[in-house]
Structure 1
């Protein structure tokens, strides 16, 4: 029904456009054909001698208009007009010319009339030719049609722009979408897995509005707002959708970029209009997604005055949230993943009384998220949700949803009736590492070097206490990598110096294996060296895990040095930092070489298996190395998964 209405509006628009084009063409054709032809005085007297000139009008004693008898009309249509008993022949203006001496022209004109027995009339006009009535009929109708046409153009633009009255005429109106009890919003708090702390605080905000007396009878005040902070994909907008589904109060939803417009003052006007609508519908909730679009800290622009419009919008928002005229029962929810750049005035209590952290889900929370997304999938019995949750550290809720969807696509691609554990592992590999490139051409000597490189990683990580347990190793190119090793990392809240050193040692073991076997290096360790350098730098500069630097951290959590390109330490300290970073990396590189030299036979066996099979799993390493020297809980999980598979 809506599509049909829109189509009818478009049809009417084209009808108006065609009508306007027709009138415009008629106007220009009229003006073109009504203009008389320029001739000279001698040509006029030649025409006059033929007896076809009905009358001439001399205007301002210098310009002569020549009217020709319409003989063809008289002959073809037998049209005779009688006026006072005299025959009137219709005429039309055809020619015009200029004269020099009026008296000489009149004398010559009278001679021609007598000579050729003409009835041509001469008239004189010294006033303006156009009267108000004639001007209206010639040009006024055209301008009226033009005004009507532009009225319909603006009306159409406004209708398609959204909102009653149109976007052009209501540019300062808010774009917020309203959800109330009449809207069928299906998302509830049951659909939000994990995030128990954030969910509890958001649920309490809904309770404030449903039953305010419960909280205000003791003298408390309802919070003005809550700010959801967290990385992308962690569920901030999903929480807001759940609030819209649970709350039995009006819910205004919009994005921070909806306030931004090319016209000056529009942002502040939309903020005022939004809060006016909210006051009328109070108690209610306003949700502003990506508030950093207008809430960026003021005064940090590199070009003075470049962000005046955004700052005016922010000032108006600050005033509406906690200005002189306070708003009762209007709660503002906002979400951002850039809390470090928000203005301090926006974050203070009284505006956003609560700051709710929505972090990446931990192990148990990832299990709950998997349970939510696996409900709609057809699963086989060997799917281990606990293993999948452990295999996806650092994944957000959106990432886990993507893993579940990708696993279903992979299983369908392989013509399977159910989704198995291996499909989920392939989906995780696909998302993290990229698509397999089995057809990529690799020379035999390059493939051998890649196999020893990956075997070096697997060997050292198997033998170190704090390294993550291995899941599988492959030399099949995937994404930009020519080979990769997959691990099951331990869920940690803090990391010790020994754990970080073991991780650095395992990362350097690929290059160590190349040096031991081939007596040379390759560029294949680029990603390893990048990660190692950042890890060692964080140990020295951020975490204070270096004796020479001491208990000092140069980490800037507030982002104060975002536009400050100078280092927060002296040149002497910078030299010490460089030396300590190099010392840490060199120490762990020597350590990895010692381990690989000690187990060189096992390293070669593992590399040969890789060249033969291209993919080897945990069981293959157990056949070569035996049981892991430092088993932990994750080892038992891997054993159970392998038994199921």
Structure 2
């Protein structure tokens, strides 16, 4: 066991350049101190005249001198004299028999040497020696300031270049690649089995891995290996997870790094790191390079000409384009990249030959959400009666990361309640927590405000219940959550295309809260902020994006390339802008009046629903059925898609 522990301790020792600097300084100090005859005899200074007195009286046994200093060694008999009592002991208090006991400065070394020669003729036991002058002290005094300045400079450059350690931590290797090489022995291995859903994306990626494993299967028919694949999709959909699965499945070297790792404060570092990265990958080919968040260096060139200076990011992009498909060629190195901003990438980067495939990783549908739940529920102690398909229906529009968060939040909620297993209610509470925020039951709300909030939310519920294309209600609550004072949860149908009547019904239901305040109190409040924000976006989309307005006709001002954000002018005239503003306002006001009409016809039921809401604070679909009856156009054939919440509050940051 001791040998194993020693090996572990030795393996934990890490080499640092500061060890070399410290070793040099210690060496110089040692040479300086010991080179000048440093000892512990504690010699005392004396004058040249007194030295000659000691010499003439025969008290001196030995003299060792240089050109400007003499060390004087007294005889043992002389040390017993009280005159030399102070020099008879060394620094440790022991008898100073070895010496020297005194030292003196020499004016003329030649005259001093003649006096010693004369004493040697008188006393045969007298010894004198001349030592050469040591130069180490002067060398040290000259070099030490430069060494300290150099060490300080290196320390500052290390700090500016990203700290210690790694390829970019050293000033002499700042241009080296920061890519991490995947190690199957130490790194957590992720396989395609850990990636639920994403069948289309997995199929494309698996084919690339299969090509690396069995290239003859494709090359025998004349096919070529794809040079690159770009993973595009919303945040949290599993782009990086797919890359981790490739690293775990492919039996080839896998280099991974972020797009921001290329860019430093020094000019030319990004291009140098790109060259070094591909050099390493080519040496270990066939290999895979994964660049996460490639939009950090891959943005379209020529969009920031106002700076008038050399753009380090563009230089890095140019080098990346050359390495991926330049004159020198790039064989057996596949580049994977991920981004959620493909619209801002340079067109030269997206062309075939660089990124041959663009794989869109979309939000999961209900079937894929069920598979994702099954993956994340494996480590959780769940109740036996838990229905995974029900959870998939209750989490529409959720990404894989959101579902992982739901499972973790449900486990924390169950643990907070001291449960032995996570059940259905814990997951529903977790969904509410993620969508609406944390419950604030202790928030002070006056009875008048509580009545207004209940009327507002009951208005949403009433209008959505009466409209055919409005999303079916799940529940309504007036318990404050996050920054909202109340919320209504819906479970909309999953639609691949949306028709104008469906959008208008949704807008009308959204305006139901403010319309209810107008109908009951004949007053409106600031509580409809999130509703207004949502309905304005919908109306603007109908007019300017989808071409659903009769007055403007079949025209859109949407730019899918994302380049319009760099333009300072609008793609339409001032006259058209006035028409757009007028049409948006008319759309919203028409649906607002429509909501008021529906609520006027059902005013008694609206008050009844608000009373139940004030009493229970949370009502569900069953409560609406008991008041309004079944919806005449209830449609259960459609698959549910995404869950939305409609909130009431006073903060601009509230979500609709």
TM score, norm. by length of structure 2: 0.78
Matched-pair contact (CA < 8 Å) for 2:492–2:640: no
- Give ranges in structure 1 of 5+ residues lacking alignment: 29-47, 55-64, 80-87, 96-130, 639-645
**Equivalence for 2:126:** none
Residue 468 in structure 1 maps to residue 471 in structure 2: yes
**Equivalence for 1:113:** none
| 1:263 CA drift (Å) | 2.1
| 1:213 CA drift (Å) | 1.6
Q: Work out which of the residue numbers 636, 640, 646 in structure 2 matches 1:633.
A: 636
Residue 199 in structure 1 maps to residue 202 in structure 2: yes
Cα deviations across residues 176-218 of structure 1 (Å, max 9, x unaligned)?
1122565665211111111111110000101111111211222
CA distance in 1, matches of 2:175, 2:186: 26
Q: 1:132 to 1:326 in 2, by over 3 A?
A: farther
**Equivalence for 1:422:** 425
CA distance in 2, matches of 1:12, 1:199: 45
CA distance in 2, matches of 1:546, 1:527: 24
Alignment of 1:19-418 (within 5 A): 20=25, 76-77=86-87, 92=104, 135-140=135-140, 143=143, 147=147, 161-163=164-166, 167-179=170-182, 185-301=188-304, 303-306=306-309, 308-418=311-421
**Equivalence for 1:39:** none
Cα deviations across residues 125-164 of structure 1 (Å, max 9, x unaligned)?
xxxxxx9955543343773697499779969979983358
Matched-pair contact (CA < 8 Å) for 2:300–2:344: yes
Q: 1:313 to 1:412 in 2, by over 3 A?
A: same
Q: 1:568 to 1:6 in 2, by over 3 A?
A: farther
- Give ranges in structure 2 of 5+ residues lacking alignment: 34-46, 53-67, 75-81, 90-99, 108-130, 642-656
**Equivalence for 2:534:** 531
| 1:515 CA drift (Å) | 0.7
Q: 1:24 to 1:78 in 2, by over 3 A?
A: closer
| 1:499 CA drift (Å) | 0.6
Matched-pair contact (CA < 8 Å) for 2:281–2:287: yes
Matched-pair contact (CA < 8 Å) for 2:344–2:563: no
Matched-pair contact (CA < 8 Å) for 2:168–2:174: no
| 1:3 CA drift (Å) | 8.5
- Secondary structure, aligned partner of 2:474: strand
- Secondary structure, aligned partner of 2:173: coil
Matched-pair contact (CA < 8 Å) for 2:21–2:151: no
Matched-pair contact (CA < 8 Å) for 2:167–2:177: no
| 1:454 CA drift (Å) | 0.4
| 1:264 CA drift (Å) | 2.0
Q: Work out which of the residue numbers 473, 487, 492 in structure 1 matches 2:490.
A: 487
Cα deviations across residues 414-458 of structure 1 (Å, max 9, x unaligned)?
122222222111111111111000000011101100000000001
Moved more, 629-638 or 373-382: 629-638
Cα deviations across residues 377-423 of structure 1 (Å, max 9, x unaligned)?
22224433333222222211101110111011111111222222221
**Equivalence for 1:452:** 455
Matched-pair contact (CA < 8 Å) for 2:396–2:640: no
Q: 1:552 to 1:78 in 2, by over 3 A?
A: closer
Residue 478 in structure 1 maps to residue 481 in structure 2: yes
Q: 1:306 to 1:506 in 2, by over 3 A?
A: farther
Q: 1:635 to 1:455 in 2, by over 3 A?
A: farther
Calculate the aligned-residue CA RMSD, in Å.
Answer: 4.0
CA distance in 1, matches of 2:166, 2:13: 18
Matched-pair contact (CA < 8 Å) for 2:289–2:333: yes
> How many pairs align?
569
| 1:12 CA drift (Å) | 11
CA distance in 2, matches of 1:618, 1:369: 28
CA distance in 2, matches of 1:636, 1:305: 54
CA distance in 2, matches of 1:265, 1:148: 29
| 1:18 CA drift (Å) | 11
| 1:467 CA drift (Å) | 0.8
**Equivalence for 1:99:** none
Matched-pair contact (CA < 8 Å) for 1:554–1:568: yes
| 1:168 CA drift (Å) | 2.7
**Equivalence for 2:556:** 553
Q: 1:133 to 1:540 in 2, by over 3 A?
A: farther
Q: 1:137 to 1:381 in 2, by over 3 A?
A: closer
Alignment of 1:500-519 (within 5 A): 500-519=503-522
Cα deviations across residues 52-104 of structure 1 (Å, max 9, x unaligned)?
799xxxxxxxxxx999x99999563379xxxxxxxx99555699xxxxxxxxx
